[in-house]
Amino acid sequence: MMVNTHEASRPPFRVHGVRYQSRDVPRAVAFYTTELGFELKHQQGDAFAAVSCDGIDLLLSGAESSGARPLPTGEQQQPGGWNRLVLAVSDLAATVVSLKSRGVVFRNEILAGPGGKQVQVLDPDGNPIELFEPAPRR
């Protein structure tokens, strides 16, 4: 019997999604579906929703969801921080103009680096989202 060493060495994980804490799940769903074009996959009232973009699920956890319960130390999970969802766009400048005209809150101005250009927006709960335009490949 042959053992597939490639299969045996793969981690037993697969990406299920990215979780963001939300103070108001219906408001967060409206933001992601209306402003950013995500698809609503599932919602359980004010407790939880899953929205999707290009095969990646964003899990929005309200106060009543298991994903928002305090840690064993008693620390409360909060929205915000520096880790973020990164969304690729083909024309960052035009995207920024469109989102600003609709009142989306920006964390910074467009920054350029060797890999491309980026800017950060905030969802209604203060969770950061990076909009990224990759640099042309040479």
* Alpha-carbon dihedral sign for residues 60, 81, 56, 12: negative
- Beta-strand pair 56-61/18-21: parallel
Q: Residue 74 falls within a domain, yes or no?
A: no
Q: Residue 27 falls within a domain, yes or no?
A: yes
Spell out a b/e string for 59-72, using b for 16 or more CB atoms within 10 Å of the CB, else e.
bbbbeebeebeeee
- Which structural domain range is residue 16 located in? 5-68+79-134
**pLDDT tens-place string over residues 87-117:** 999 999 999 999 999 999 999 999 998 899 9
Contacts (Cβ under 8 Å, ≥6 apart) of 35: 99, 102, 104
**pLDDT tens-place string over residues 35-90:** 999 999 999 999 999 999 999 999 999 999 988 888 899 998 888 888 899 999 99
- CATH code assigned at 47: 3.10.180.10
Count of structural domains within the chain: 1
Q: Residue 112 falls within a domain, yes or no?
A: yes
Q: Residue 96 falls within a domain, yes or no?
A: yes
**pLDDT tens-place string over residues 11-39:** 787 888 999 999 999 999 999 999 999 99
Q: Residue 32 falls within a domain, yes or no?
A: yes
The per-residue pLDDT for 67 is 87
**Which letter does DSSP use for residue 68 in this model?**
G
pTM of the model as a whole: 0.82
